[in-house]
Each structure stands twice: as structure tokens, then as C-alpha cells.
Amino acid sequence: MFYGQIEGTRFEPLEPEFNNLLIGHARVERLWTGARWSEGPTWFPAGRYLVWSDIPNNRMLRWDETDGSVSVFRNPSNYSNGNTTDHHGRLVSCEHGARRVTRTEHDGSITVIADRYQGKRLNSPNDVVVKSDGSIWFTDPTYGIMIDYEGGRAESEIGACYVYRVDPDTAEVMAVATDFMKPNGLAFSPDEKYLYVADTGRSHDPDGPAHIRRFSLSGDGKTLSGGEVLADSTAGLFDGFRLDEDGRIWTSAADGVHCLEPGGNLIGKIAIPELVANVCFGGARKNRLFIAGTTSLYSAYLAVIGPV
């Protein structure tokens, strides 16, 4: 393990409060390199490992905290993209190639969570999060069916890009937000009163959005209202993101990780010398931010933890 300074990495406070989230002598570590496009990191506390997607290589990788080794977790992965760990410790994945969301059960079998909406095939599920009631929420832009690099070229059967909720009791797939160009990363606030969703429409339209919106959940936690723009990206796109215990947003961007306070103001950055696509909190104390940055997996210890 190399603990020296990685060129191009640094902590960049923009507001004094960001310093309170940092550990004075901590550095950004590069844990591994060798991917084409890293996405969807998710932490497994019981096994002390992290799984993430290398989308163009059609594989998922596993970084083992016990010895720092990286191995191939799944190949082919159906061009998996976003992943999350549900409240029972199971892997939930978005698969561009199979155009579905799946769960890997404790016995290793794979359950299809969603592959159609109103009888039509999904586009290419991108990112996923599980609410405390067991409902599974995911975004469905067209990145995996536009070209053959991260999936397979195909027409959109739905003809639009929605955010969906899968009911934990009935397995019904419901569209909960339908006014996005390219819905992408998503995460709940720690109290689950809000759902944040990124729109990366600017990737294929210079006038398109590059922002994160905030929705309020209804009393029964099943539907959304509001959806105001919380923050526009100042560097490329906001792709995947996670919230910390205090509701700050740690989001991917073109120049690294941006930290937004709950009101949406940018308070600091972690500069990374590659495009960052997604992050997650992990480690035994949940105080380690894992960063999926194009070819590499990075991490940084912070003075703040992920949601408990």
C-alpha cells in the first residue's frame, strides 16, 4: 500500500465548515487502477469488502479491506452500473445489458426486481437506492442502449426516462418522477423526508440540465412532490452521490468530489485527477469515502460518517 500523496489529489475547502469534515493529515489514497469506467461502489460491512462496476469491461470488481486485494466479482455482469447494499446486506444492481434491476440473494441466486414498466422493457437502469421500508428506487436513462460501449444499442420502448419505485409487498413498478431528461444518481436524506435525484441531460444536450433536484416524500413514503433544483454542477455532471449523517451531499463531478451542504451550497471539494462517477461511504466506522474515478478506485478518511 502506498500512503504518499497521489498527484492531482487534494482537499479544497471553499467554506470554513468544510475543514471540520476533514482529518488534518489524511490523504486521498488510490486503492487500485485498471478499469475503463468505474461506477456504482457499494460497501458490504459484514464481509469488509466493496463491490463496484467496470461497465465497458462488463464486470464487477471487489476490493477486500482485509488485504487490499482486488478480484473480479462477476463477469459478465450484464454491464452493471449502479449498485447498492440493501438493509439485509444483499447486493442490488442496475444492469444495462439485461435492462433490469436485480438482487443477489444470500444463496447466490439472482432475483429480478424490475425489468418492465407497463409491459415495456426498461431503458437501462442506472442507479438504485433502497428505502428503510424495503422499497427499491431507481433511475432509468438511456445511456446503456444509446451505443454498444456500455450495454447494447436498442430503441427505447418506453420513450422517456423516469424514476421508479418498486413496492416491497406487491413488486409493482411505479413511475414516481417523469420530468427528467436523464435521471441518474439518487439518494435519500438520512430521515428519508427527501429524495435527491441528479439529471445529467447535459451529457447529450449542451442546454440540458447538470443538476441535483430535491423531492419531498409523501406521508406514506410512496410518492414524490416538489422537485426543485438544489444545485447546478460547476464542473461537468453530477452523476452518483451519497449523503452523510448530517445530510450533506457528497457528489461526483468532473474534477472530483463536491460536498454540498443540505441547502445545496458547495462548501468544498476533493480533487481527483480523473472524472468521478460515483461514491459511497464504508469501512468499519463508515468514515471512509470510496470514490469511483474512471480507471481507479480511490478513498479518503473523513471526520464525518455515512448514514447509520
Chain residues in the site for Mg ion (CB under 5 A): 126-127, 184, 239-240
Residue with cell 432509468: 140
CB 234 within 8 A of CB 256: no
Residue nearer to Mg ion on the CB measure, 126 or 296: 126
Q: How far is the CB of 15 from Mg ion (least distance, A)?
A: 27
Q: How far is the CB of 67 from Mg ion (least distance, A)?
A: 29
Q: How far is the CB of 24 from Mg ion (least distance, A)?
A: 32
Q: How far is the CB of 66 from Mg ion (least distance, A)?
A: 28
Q: What is the DSSP string of 14-70?
A: SSGGGGGGS-TT---EEEEEEEEEEEEEEEETTTTEEEEEEGGGTEEEEEETTT--E
| Backbone φ and ψ of 18, nearest 5° | -65, -30
Residue nearer to Mg ion on the CB measure, 82 or 268: 82
* Integer Cα distance of 70 and 203 in angstroms: 31
Residue with cell 489524511: 26
Residue nearer to Mg ion on the CB measure, 11 or 240: 240
Q: How far is the CB of 193 from Mg ion (least distance, A)?
A: 23
Q: Which three cell numbers stand for residue 20?
A: 471540520
Residue nearer to Mg ion on the CB measure, 240 or 283: 240
Residue nearer to Mg ion on the CB measure, 124 or 126: 126
